[in-house]
Amino acid sequence: MSEKPADGNLDAAADGEGNDTLSLLMKHVSIRQFQKKPLSEEQLAAIIGAGQMASTSSNVQAYSVIAVTEPALKADLAGLAGNQVYIEQCPVFLVWCADLYRLRQVTNPHLKGADSYEDSMENFIVATVDAALAAQNAAVAAESLGLGIVYIGGIRNQIAAVSELLGLPELVYPVFGMCIGYPEGSPGQRPRLPMQAVLHRERYDAKATVEQVKAYDEEMQAYLSARTGGVNNTPWSAIMAKRLAEPIRLHMKDFLQSKGFMQK
């Protein structure tokens, strides 16, 4: 068994030096400005193909992807997602969907009237996780081709309208969107929590994970102050408090149940 690095060396051990894959992962930034240069069909196929090779629970592959390139449709989706203009600017907008419809349809002939649980809470989780795993594989593949991406959770702001616009059947819901294209410039990389806050040894360390946020608050204050010219230096914990105090997308439970999810 290899020796684990001392906690003080965790960040150094993860810098990706000498490893192209790690280096690519450690350089990730969200891109919100794109060149007008289009993606080729070969690039899109490579990106989706990489997504398909992600891990999937029991090989159910319970997700689908909708590639949107029509300007008018991208404009409609941008409006529904909170007027995020980069959805219109990017050459390809991918909508990643948890999809249990396909599974239900193709398994039904084999069940011969037996009970089926595609609408269970567990299978909802499986489909959502499958979509996320495939999307992250695709994101890394896109970045390896010199492209940039940004995830769009705002696709769930008016999720019923988005679903109708995209023709999503029962047991399919849009988990998030993803803009893909050639970056127009590159923003600075946002600091992450210290590794000691998220990496626990053998048991969950409730005290340590909270204590680590103190240093991160200071780091984020410095980052935001530098980025905004001193206008904003709000600590991360205060930003998160504001977020948790907002009733964001409380329609999701009713919508998902109306689409046939989480019935059992």
Q: Do 145 and 226 lie in a common domain?
A: no
Please give the pLDDT value at position 107: 96
Q: In the chain, how many domains are there?
A: 2
Q: Do 177 and 53 lie in a common domain?
A: yes
Q: Dmax of the chain from CA atoms?
A: 66
Is 20 inside a domain boundary?
no
Q: Do 104 and 222 lie in a common domain?
A: no
**pTM of this structure:** 0.91
Is 264 inside a domain boundary?
no
> Residues 183-201: pLDDT tens digits?
998 888 999 999 999 999 9
List the domain range (segments joined by +) for residue 227.
Answer: 190-233
Is 3 inside a domain boundary?
no
Is 124 inside a domain boundary?
yes
Please give the pLDDT value at position 48: 98
Q: Which residue has the tokens 């990706």?
A: 16
Q: Do 100 and 111 lie in a common domain?
A: yes
Q: Do 120 and 209 lie in a common domain?
A: no
Assign 72 a pLDDT band (cuts: 50, 70, 90): very high
Average pLDDT over residues 237-245: 96
**pLDDT, averaged across the chain:** 93
Please give the pLDDT value at position 15: 64
> Residues 156-174: pLDDT tens digits?
999 999 999 999 999 999 9
Q: Do 94 and 183 lie in a common domain?
A: yes
Is 66 inside a domain boundary?
yes
Please give the pLDDT value at position 33: 95
Q: Do 100 and 87 lie in a common domain?
A: yes
Q: Do 56 and 175 lie in a common domain?
A: yes
Q: Which CATH number is 169's domain given?
A: 3.40.109.10
Q: Do 91 and 56 lie in a common domain?
A: yes
Q: Do 39 and 141 lie in a common domain?
A: yes
Q: Do 175 and 200 lie in a common domain?
A: no
Q: Do 109 and 220 lie in a common domain?
A: no
